[in-house]
Structure 1
Amino acid sequence: MAASAVERRGPTCCERILPGPNTVKFVVASEVSERFTYYGNKAILTLFLTDVFLFSDPDATSIFFWYSAGTYLAPLLGGYISDAYLGKMFTIIDFSIVYIIGAAALTLSAISEQMWLAFIGLVLIAIGTGGIKPCVAAFGAQQLMDPSYNPPTGWTTQHLVSIFFSSFYLSINLGSLFAYLLLPLARRYGGFEAAFGAATIVLTLSLVVFVLPCRKYLRERPKGSILASILAVIAAGCSEQCRTRGTFWWLSCCSSSGSSVVHGDEPDGLMSAVKRTVAGEEPPTPSALLDDGEDHASALDRSEALTGGSEDAESASMVASPASAKPSPRAGGSAAAHGKPEKDEAAAVAEAARVRSMALRERAGCLNAVRGKFSDEMVDGAASITAILPVFSIIALFWALYDQQGNTWVLQAKRMDLGPFEPDQLGAINPLLVMVMLPVYRAAILPCLECLGRRCPILEPTPLKRMGVGMLLASFTFLLSAAVEFVIDSSPPKSVSVLLQLPQWVLITIAEIFLSVTGLEWAYTQADRNLQGVCMAAWFFSNGLGDIIGGLLYQATKSLSQTAIYLMFAALMVVAFGVYAVIAIGYKSVPPEPVARRALGGDEEAQALVEDGPYDALAGIPREDSRPASRGSLGTKYGAAADDASVGDVSLAPALGRREE
C-alpha cells in the first residue's frame, strides 16, 4: 500500500489546453462528433421543412423551436435515469443509440419524403441528444479525479476544472463550426439525404470513440435520484406558505433574500479555520463545529463534494491544491510530521461544510417551515435548487432570441444576396466567433473587468451581472435584426448583401459568452453536489422553456411583419431584464460544497467507483475486492480511521458547467 510522493512538475502543452488523463480526451472527441451531427441537422432543418414539405416560414420556425425545446426538456429524463439507475456513462451510451436511430429515420424521411418519418426521427433525436446533455460535461470533469493522474504543481482545483470546461465549450463550437460549413454543402450537391446521412455516420463514430476506453473510465455508483424527495419538500413548503401567507408569498421570499455572501473572513468561516491552521494554532475539532448530536463521520459525509479552489490566497490551497498537499506517511514521511495537517484538513473541511449549511439555512427562507417534516439535508438541497430557479426562468426568454439563429435568421439570409455562401452556412459565424472571442474574454476582458471591480466594487463583474449584460446585448441584437429586415423589405429582391447580418451575429455571440458561458458555471457552484445533475437539467429546461415561448409567439403573431416580431422580442427581453435585475439583487450566494480529493484505494472508496448497473461485466470493471489500492486508503468510510488516512492528493473543484447547446 505504499505510495510515492507526488511528483512536482509543470504543465505540458496539452494540459494547458485540455488537462486530465487520456479518458478525458476520448470524452471530448466524442462530444465534437456528436455536436457535429446535432448542429448539422439543426442547420438544414428549417430549409428541409420549407423546401421538401412546403411549410410556411412561421410554421417551419415554430416546428424548429419545438424540436429544439424537446432537446432541452429531455435532459430531465436523462438526468433522472443517470442518477437513479445507469450512471452517467451508460446513460450516454443508451441515449446515443436512440439518437442514432432517430438520425437514421430522418435520413430515410429525406429519401422517401415521408413527413411522419421525419417527425419520428426528430422526436427520437430530441430524446437522444437531450438524454446525454446533463451527463457528458459532468462525466468528463469526473475523469479529472482519476488517482493515476498527477496534476501540474501549483494548479488549484478550480483552475484545473475551469480549463477543462473552457476547452469543452470550445470543442462544442468546433463541432458546430464544421457542421455549419460542410453539411450545407452536402445538402447543395447531394441533397438533404446526403447531408442527413453524413451526420448519421459521424454520430455513429462518436459512440464508437466514447465506448473505446470504457474499461478505464472513472465512474460512480448510481445513488438514486432524490428528485422526488426534493419536489416533495418544495410542494410542502409552498403549501405551507400559501396556507399561512397567501398565494403571492413567493414575492416576499425574493425580496427578503438579500445578496449576502458567506465571506471567508467571518469568525466561523472556512478561511478562518485555514488561517488558524497556517498559523500553527489548533483548529476546532469537528465535533465542536457541528450542531448538537452530529458526529465527525456525518459531517464529512455531509460535505462529500469536491473542494473548490478559493480565490482568497495560498492558505486555501492547503485544502484545494495538489501542490500544497503533504506527502502521505505511507510515502515514507513521518506520521508525526504529517498526521496533524491531515487532521487539520479534515477539521477545515468539516468547518466549511458547517458554514455552507448555515448559509443554506438562511437561503431556504420559506422552506424552513417544513424542517420538522423533512431532514435538514433535504431542505438544504431543495433550497440550493429553488434559489436558482427564478434566475433560470427569467433568462429562458434569452434562448427564444438566441435560437432564432437557426430559423428566422436563415430565412432572412435566404432573401439576401448570399454571394458564394448558402443561407444555412452562416451559422458557422457563431462558433467561429466563440472560438476567437472566448479566449480573449477569459485572458483579457474578464481580468480587466475584475481589476475595474476592485477599484469600484459596484462594477465588480459578478456572474449575475455578466448574465444581465448578456440579456441586454441580446435585446440590442434584435433591434439590429429588425433594422436589417426593414432594409430588405425596402429593397429589390436579393439586392441586400448578407454581410449586413454580420453585426447581429457578433452581438449575439458576445451575449452568449456573457450569459451562457457564465450561467451554468455559476449555478453548478450553488447547488449541492448530489443535486448538480438536477441543476444542469434545470438549466436545459430553461433553454426548452425559451424555445416553447418562441414557438408559441410565432404561431400567435403570424399576421405581423417580421420586422415587428423582431421589435417585439427586443422589447420582451428588456422587460425580462428588469425582472431579472430585481431577482439578482435579492439573490444570496453560498460557498461551494467542500471536501478534499482523496486518493481512492480503500474498499469503500473502490466500491463507490463501481456502478452496479447491468453493464459491469461488459465494461470489465473489477469488483471492489479485486481492485488494486492506489495512493492512500481511507479504511472505513469517514469514520475514526479517517483521522489516520492518507490524504496524498487533493484536487478538483465542483464541476463548473457550461451551456452545451
Structure 2
Amino acid sequence: MKAVLTLYFTRFLHWEDNFATAIYHTFVALCYLTPILGAIIADSWLGKFKTILYLSIVYAIGQAVLSVGSISELTGGSANNLAPNIALSMIGLILIALGTGGIKPCVSAFGGDQFEEDQERQRGTFFSLFYLSINAGSLLSTLITPTLRATECGIHTKQECYPLAFGVPAILMAVALVVFVIGSKMYKKIKPQGNIMLEVSKCVGFAIKNRFRHRSKEFPKREHWLDWASDKYDKRLIAQTKMVLRVLFLYIPLPMFWAVFDQQGSRWTLQATAMNGDFGFQIQPDQMQIVNPILIVIMVPVVDSVLYPLIKKCKLNFTPLKKMTVGMFLGSLAFVAAALVQVQIDKTYPVFPAAGQAQIKLINVGQIPATVQFQPQLDSVNIAPGKETGYMTYEASELQSAHISAAILNKTVPLDLQGKKRYTLAFKWDSPNINSNLMLDNITSKPENGKSLVRFINSLSFAVNVTMGDTDFGELDPLSVTNYSFVPKPDGSYTISVSTPEVACTEVSKKFGYGSAYTISLDYCESNKLTITYFEDIAPNTVHMAWQIPQYFLLTCAEVLFSVTGLEFSYSQAPSNMKSVLQAGWLLTVAVGNIIVLIVAGASTIDKQWAEYVLFAALLLVVCIIFAIMASFYTYIDPNEIEAQFSEEEKKEHKKDQDDNEKEAEVDSRM
C-alpha cells in the first residue's frame, strides 16, 4: 500500500510534494511508534498470538476504510470537495498504523519463540527467511499495486483506480489472517508474564531516585547505577533491565539510517516521476521501488549461505554490530548516488522566468520564411516555415512590440508581458495579411506526476472540431489555440481527428514521453489525411529510471546488513520475558528516523533536492562513525546463560531457606 501512497496524496488528494512527503513520513512514524503499545499488550495481557490476531483485524478494517476513502464518487466526482475522502483516508491510515504497529514487535518475536534454546543457527535462518518473506510480498505488491492504480475506473470521471489498489491489499490481509488462525494449534504460545515494561520503568526510576538519595560518602558505591534498585527489586529483574538498557543505548544512533532508508517511498518515488521509465515496457514511478525487494529476495539467501560462511572461513570476526556499521556506510553511499542522479535530472529541467522576467517563443505556422524584430531595437530572429525559436528570456518591461516581416508583408504586434510568465507568438503569412496570436503558456513547472500535456493550434483557414483519443478539445477557429490537456498515457499513441460538416481528417500521434508539453499545429486536411507539426514547449524526461538502480542496490545491501542483522541481534540479546519490548525499541528507531525526515525537510532552507540528498548522506556518515565507536565497547552476552545462573542461585537460596525452616521446625519440636 505504501508503494502508491505518495502518488495518492499528490495525484488524487492534490497535495503538493513537500506536504505529501510530510504526511507520508508522519504515517510511517506512527506505524513504528505503536509497536510500544503492541509490546505492552502482548507481554502484559494477551500474549503474542492474541495480540497479532486482534490487531490484524484492526489492520484489515483500516485498509478497507482507506479503499472506500479513495472512491471519487463520494463527492460526486468533484475534485473541489475532497473533505470526505481526506477524512476517511486519515481514519484508514490511523487504523492501519495501529494494526501494523501493534503486530510488528510480536510477529518476529513470536516466530523466534518457536525455537528451542539450542537452535540458535535455525533461529538465525528463520530471521533471514522471515525478512525474505516480507520482501517477497513487497516484490509482488510493488509490481501489482501500481499496475492496479494505473488502471482507470470511476462513474463520473475516469481516473486512476486507487480503490482497487487499496482494496486488493485489504482482501489479502483478511486472507492472511484466516491462514494465521488455521495454524493456531501448531504454534508454541508463551503466556504473558505481566507488565514487564512497567516493571522495568519502575526499576530504573527507583534506581535513579535511590542513587541521588544516597549521595553521601557513607554509603558504599555500587558496581552499576542500576544496582541501587536492589533495595527493592530482585537481582534477576535488575540483570534483565541491564541487558535491555545496554542494547537500547546502542539504538540511539540508529534512527538516522531509517531517515535515509524510508525516503525510497517518498523522495525517490518523486524523483522517478521526473525520469524516463521506458524499459521496452513502461515502468510507473512507484514501481521502481520493486528493485529493492527483488534484490532482497536474491541477496538474503546469497549473503546467508555464501557470503557469511566465506567470511567465517577467512577467520574474520564480522560481528552483528560490524555488519550494521557497514550497512550504515552503504546507506550513506546510496544517497550520494541519488544526489548524482538528481544533478543529471536538474540539467534537463526547463528554465522558467524569474521575477520581473518574461519568456517568449516564436512559431511560424505558415509556408513563408519570416523575420521578427523586437521593439525597442532588440533581437532580430529569422524563422523558417514550420519552425520555432525556443523560449527567449527578457525583462518584461523591455518588450513593447514584435515587428513581423514575411515576403512583402509587415505587421507589428503589441506586447504586454507580465513577469514570471511564458508566452508563445504564433503567426502565418496568409495573403493579403499576416495573422498572429499571442498566447499565454500557463505552465510554470514540469507537468505534475510525470505526465504530459498537449494543446492544438489551428493553422487551417477554417474552423474545425478537434479530438485526440477520448479527449474532445472542442471547436477551434483559425489560428486559435486550445488549453493544455493531460495525455492519458504518454507512452501510448492516439488518433487525432479534425472535422467539419464537410470534411474529416485523422492522424496517429507520436508517443509523447513523460513530463513533456507540446503545441500541435494542424497544418493540412486533404483526402482524409491530417498533416500536423509538433512544437516542443517542454522536453520529455530523458534521464532513464535505470540510473536509480545503483542507489537501490547500495541501499538494499545496507538493508541486508543493517536490518536483518538488527532483528536477530535484538532478539538474541533480549531476556526471555522482554523479547517484544526490545523488538518495540528496535521499531521505535524507525519512527524516530521518519520524524527526523520531517524535521530536516521542514527546517531546511535547501531548495535543491540533490543538496538535501547530500545532507542526509553526510548526517548518516557522521552517525555511522559514532555508532562504530559505541559498538566497539559493547560486550555480547547470552541472556539464557545469565538467567540460568540466577535460576541456580534462586534454587540454592530456596533450598537453603527450606533447610533453615526444617532446622527451626526440628528445634521447635524438641522444645
- TM-score, normalization by structure 2: 0.61
1:95 aligns with 2:65: no
Is the 2:576–2:640 contact (alpha carbons within 8 Å) kept by the matching residues of 1?
A: yes
1:490 aligns with 2:490: no
1:403 aligns with 2:450: no
Partner residue of 2:365?
none
Is the 1:134–1:533 contact (alpha carbons within 8 Å) kept by the matching residues of 2?
A: yes
- Tell me which of 587, 608, 630 is aligned to 1:540: 587
Is the 2:109–2:571 contact (alpha carbons within 8 Å) kept by the matching residues of 1?
A: no
Partner residue of 1:171?
133
1:559 and 1:571 mapped to 2: Cα distance? 15
Is the 2:52–2:107 contact (alpha carbons within 8 Å) kept by the matching residues of 1?
A: yes
Partner residue of 1:192?
162
Q: Measure how far apart 1:409 and its partner are.
A: 0.4
Q: Measure how far apart 1:62 and its partner are.
A: 1.3
Counterparts of 1:162-561 in structure 2, within 5 Å, are 162-190=124-152, 191-239=161-209, 365-419=224-278, 420-454=282-316, 460-492=317-349, 493-557=540-604, 559-561=606-608
Secondary structure of 1:494's counterpart equals coil
- Tell me which of 48, 69, 80 is aligned to 2:8: 48
1:559 and 1:512 mapped to 2: Cα distance? 27
Q: Measure how far apart 1:364 and its partner are.
A: 7.7
Deviations 1:65-84 (A, max 9, x none): 11111111111111111111
Q: Measure how far apart 1:372 and its partner are.
A: 2.2
Partner residue of 1:108?
68
- Tell me which of 157, 171, 176 is aligned to 2:119: 157
Is the 1:184–1:422 contact (alpha carbons within 8 Å) kept by the matching residues of 2?
A: yes
Q: 1:143 to 1:374 in 2, by over 3 A?
A: closer
Q: Measure how far apart 1:243 and its partner are.
A: 7.3
Is the 1:72–1:540 contact (alpha carbons within 8 Å) kept by the matching residues of 2?
A: yes
1:410 and 1:220 mapped to 2: Cα distance? 41
Task: Give % identity.
Answer: 37
Is the 1:363–1:383 contact (alpha carbons within 8 Å) kept by the matching residues of 2?
A: no
Q: Measure how far apart 1:141 and its partner are.
A: 3.3
Is the 2:227–2:238 contact (alpha carbons within 8 Å) kept by the matching residues of 1?
A: yes
How many aligned positions are there?
Answer: 433
Q: Measure how far apart 1:241 and its partner are.
A: 5.6
Partner residue of 1:279?
none
Partner residue of 2:454?
none
Partner residue of 1:58?
18
Is the 2:606–2:612 contact (alpha carbons within 8 Å) kept by the matching residues of 1?
A: no
Q: 1:562 to 1:90 in 2, by over 3 A?
A: same
1:528 and 1:144 mapped to 2: Cα distance? 15
Give the residue type in structure 1 aligned to 2:276.
D
1:136 aligns with 2:107: yes
| Structure 2: gaps spanning 5 or more residues | 72-82, 153-160, 350-539, 652-671
Secondary structure of 1:222's counterpart equals coil
Give the residue type in structure 1 aligned to 2:595.
I
Q: Measure how far apart 1:451 and its partner are.
A: 3.1
1:445 and 1:388 mapped to 2: Cα distance? 26
Give the residue type in structure 2 aligned to 1:224.
G
Is the 2:128–2:304 contact (alpha carbons within 8 Å) kept by the matching residues of 1?
A: no
Q: 1:364 to 1:132 in 2, by over 3 A?
A: farther
Q: Measure how far apart 1:578 and its partner are.
A: 2.1
Secondary structure of 1:140's counterpart equals helix
Is the 2:230–2:238 contact (alpha carbons within 8 Å) kept by the matching residues of 1?
A: yes
Q: Measure how far apart 1:119 and its partner are.
A: 0.7
Deviations 1:145-182 (A, max 9, x none): 6xxxxxxxxx9612222222222111111110000000
Is the 1:58–1:558 contact (alpha carbons within 8 Å) kept by the matching residues of 2?
A: no
Deviations 1:491-535 (A, max 9, x none): 255110011101000000000111111112112211211111111
Q: 1:596 to 1:233 in 2, by over 3 A?
A: closer
2:318 and 2:288 mapped to 1: Cα distance? 31
Partner residue of 2:40?
80
Q: Measure how far apart 1:205 and its partner are.
A: 0.7
Q: Measure how far apart 1:368 and its partner are.
A: 2.1
Is the 2:208–2:228 contact (alpha carbons within 8 Å) kept by the matching residues of 1?
A: no
Is the 1:464–1:584 contact (alpha carbons within 8 Å) kept by the matching residues of 2?
A: yes
1:245 and 1:443 mapped to 2: Cα distance? 54
Secondary structure of 1:437's counterpart equals helix
Give the residue type in structure 2 aligned to 1:200.
A
Q: 1:526 to 1:567 in 2, by over 3 A?
A: same
1:426 and 1:243 mapped to 2: Cα distance? 58
Deviations 1:461-501 (A, max 9, x none): 11111111011111111111111111100125511001110
Is the 2:109–2:583 contact (alpha carbons within 8 Å) kept by the matching residues of 1?
A: no
> Of Structure 1 and Structure 2, which has the larger fraction of its residues in strand?
2
Q: Which has the higher contact order (CA 8 A, sep 6+)?
A: 1
Partner residue of 2:621?
574
Q: 1:526 to 1:245 in 2, by over 3 A?
A: farther
Is the 1:364–1:383 contact (alpha carbons within 8 Å) kept by the matching residues of 2?
A: no
1:384 and 1:363 mapped to 2: Cα distance? 17
Give the residue type in structure 2 aligned to 1:548.
I
1:639 and 1:591 mapped to 2: Cα distance? 17
Is the 1:62–1:552 contact (alpha carbons within 8 Å) kept by the matching residues of 2?
A: no
Q: 1:640 to 1:386 in 2, by over 3 A?
A: closer
1:228 and 1:99 mapped to 2: Cα distance? 26
Deviations 1:42-89 (A, max 9, x none): 000000001111112111111111111111111111111111111111
Q: Measure how far apart 1:424 and its partner are.
A: 0.7
Is the 2:204–2:229 contact (alpha carbons within 8 Å) kept by the matching residues of 1?
A: no
Secondary structure of 1:136's counterpart equals helix
Question: RMSD of aligned C-alpha atoms?
Answer: 2.7
Secondary structure of 2:70's counterpart equals helix
Partner residue of 2:471?
none
Is the 2:327–2:560 contact (alpha carbons within 8 Å) kept by the matching residues of 1?
A: yes
- TM-score, normalization by structure 1: 0.62
Q: Measure how far apart 1:239 and its partner are.
A: 4.3
Secondary structure of 2:52's counterpart equals helix
Q: Measure how far apart 1:453 and its partner are.
A: 3.7
| Structure 1: gaps spanning 5 or more residues | 1-40, 146-154, 247-361, 455-459, 598-636, 642-661
> Of Structure 1 and Structure 2, which has the larger fraction of its residues in helix?
1
Secondary structure of 1:587's counterpart equals coil
Q: Measure how far apart 1:595 and its partner are.
A: 10
Which protein shows a greater Rg? Answer: 2
Give the residue type in structure 1 aligned to 2:136.
L
Is the 1:110–1:118 contact (alpha carbons within 8 Å) kept by the matching residues of 2?
A: yes
2:91 and 2:239 mapped to 1: Cα distance? 41
Partner residue of 1:593?
640
